Amino acid sequence: MSGRSITKLSQEKIVAIITIVLVVFFSATLHSFLTPGNILALLQNVAILGILGIAMALAIIGRGIDLSVVAIMAVSVAWVLQLNNNGVDLSQAIAMGFVLALAIGLINGVLIAYLEVPAIFATLAMGTAAYGSVRAVLLEDNLVYLKAAGDSWFKWIGSGQILGVPSPVMVFAVIALLAHLFLRFAVPGRFLFAMGDNPLAARATGVPIRPLIVLQYLLTAAIAFVAGVVMATAVDSMETRVARSNLVYDIILVVVIGGIGLNGGKGGIRNVLVGTLLIGVLLNGMTIMNIPYTLQNIIKSLILLAAIIIDALMNPRDEQTSQQGDI
């Protein structure tokens, strides 16, 4: 049995080991790597990615996926900034933007739960539709600046510090903790695992599957909104075109690389943290080494590929038990 426990490495452990190896390697070769300033910078750089990763993790654990997080984040927060710039009170603007984000999440949930549209399509389409319709109807410009609230507490969310720790890292930590508590101790959180593991069985045992799916996408949208606020206040603006970028793929990478299976029912916030850390360490190290952006993408993807290949070799899928239509 002891031999088995050695070979039975989970993907999370593999990634954690890779991360540690990388940290050791970078510390040895790059003198500016292992400094407190750099480590904090590293965390700050991936904080937004990590927050979005938590949102995505909630969706994936419940056997869904949310490809619209970036769009939700972009349009809802851009609207907040624009409302505020046009003279709407800040807190009221935030409330309106939050409601907008929740509304998009609600549509996602209803489409998936009640119309039974596969999550990947519902959210893919909703991402495009929400970006397009909000941009066409509500927003005046692709790029909305943070002007009116530039000096308020709002600005602090993305660019402040507590005891030297950048506030995005704090926000990431708080969201991670809340999500962890939700998944661990809240009833809907436990149900989320049950649903992700086997939706039919969960339904048969009385788990309210449909409301749970709606809740899942509402949560995802809410967290995406928070990530958007952090992003906008860090950059002083919100570029809605980010909705059309590859960012959502990066988010999925973070979640999956940490070991949350796309099948659902497995994993937790710790996996997101591990995945985020690996990406953070990699990006930071490569940036210090001045590797160009595109080459960084390739290296990042190759490492992810290595992680999933190792996972496939260690935990091979069986022809007899794998599910049909599982992509």
Partner 1 sequence: MIHFMKGCAIAASVAMGVLASSGPLQAAPDDGLINESSAALKGKKVAFVPIAMGFDLTEAWAAGLKLDAQRFGYELTIRDPNWSVDAGAQAISQLISEQPDVIVVHPPEIQAYTRLIQQANAAGIPVITVSLKADANGDVFVGPDWYDLAVKETESMVKFCGKDSGKSGKIAVMQGVLTNPTSQYGIQAIEATLKDHPEIQIVSNQAADWDASKAHAIASTVIKANPDLCGFIGLWDNMDVGIAAAIKEAGKQGQIYIASSGGGNQVSACDNIESGNFSSYVSYDAKGQARDLMMAVRAILQNKPTTPGEHSVGLYTPLKVITKETMTADSCWKLEDVKKFGP
Partner 2 sequence: MAMRETLTRLRYRFVPDHILGEILAKSWIDNAIPVAILILTLCVLGSMIPGLVAVGSLLGMSAQFGELLLVVMAMTIVMLAGGIDLSVGSVFALANFVTLALFNMLGWPILVVIPVAILCGALVGLVNGILIGYLRLRAFLTTLVTLIIVRSIVDMFILEYAVKVARPTTLSRIWDFISFKRVLGMPVALIVCLAIAILAHLTLTRLRPGWHIMAVGGSRRSAFNAGLPVRRTIAMTYVLSGMLAALAGVFYASRLNAAGSDTGVGLEVLALTAAVVGGNSLGGGRGSVFKAVLGAIIILILSNSLLRLSLPTGGTSAVLGFVLIAAVAIDVKWVKHRDKLQTSVYVSPTFLALGKAPETAEGSASPYALNNLLKDVELIGLGEIDGPEDPILDAAGNLYCGTRHGDIIRFFAPDFTSKEVFVHTGGHPLGLAFDRDGNLLACVAGMGLYRIGPDKKITRLSDQTNRSWLSVIDDSRMRLADDLDIAPDGRIFFSEATIRFDMSDWMVDALEARGNGRIICYDPSTGSTRTIMDKLRFPNGITMARDGESFFFAETWGCCVSRYWFAGARTGQREVVIPDLPGYPDNINRASDGGYWLAMVGMRTPIFDMALQNPGFRKRMVERVAPDEWLFPNMNYGCVIKFDENGRITDCLWDSRGTNHPMITSMREHEGWLYLGGVSNNRIGRYRIPGGDPTWTAHASYRGEAR
Q: Which among 3-11, 173-181, 219-227, 317-325 is the span making contact with partner 2, rule CB under 8 A?
A: 317-325
For residues 295 and 58, the answer to whether their CB atoms sit within 8 Å is no
| Of 163 and 313, CB closest to partner 2 | 313
Is 270 a binding residue for partner 2 by CB under 8 A? The answer is no
In order of 216, 220, 230, 266, the CA distances from 108 in angstroms are 10, 10, 23, 22
Instruction: Find the binder of partner 2 among 24, 35, 116, 150 (CB under 8 A).
Output: 116
Distance CA 227, CA 70 (A): 9
In order of 43, 45, 57, 246, 276, the CA distances from 250 in angstroms are 16, 13, 13, 7, 10
Helical axes 119-137 vs 90-113, angle rounded to 10°: 150
Q: Which partner in partner 2, partner 1, none is near 237 (CB below 5 to 8 A by kind)? A: partner 1
Number of residues in contact with partner 1, rule: CB under 8 A?
28
Q: Which residues 19-58 are close enough to bind partner 1 by CB under 8 A?
A: 32, 38, 41, 44-45
Q: Which partner in partner 2, partner 1, none is near 91 (CB below 5 to 8 A by kind)? A: none
Is 94 a binding residue for partner 1 by CB under 8 A? The answer is no
Sign (positive or negative) of CA dihedral 18, 20, 22, 28? negative
| Of 42 and 219, CB closest to partner 1 | 42
3-state helix, strand, coil in the chain (%, to 5): 75, 5, 25
Instruction: Kindly list the residues in this chain that would bind partner 2 in the complex (CB under 8 A).
Output: 111, 115-118, 120-122, 124-137, 139, 142, 244, 246, 249, 252-253, 256, 262, 292, 294-295, 297-298, 300-302, 304-305, 308-309, 312-313, 316-317, 319-320, 322, 324-327
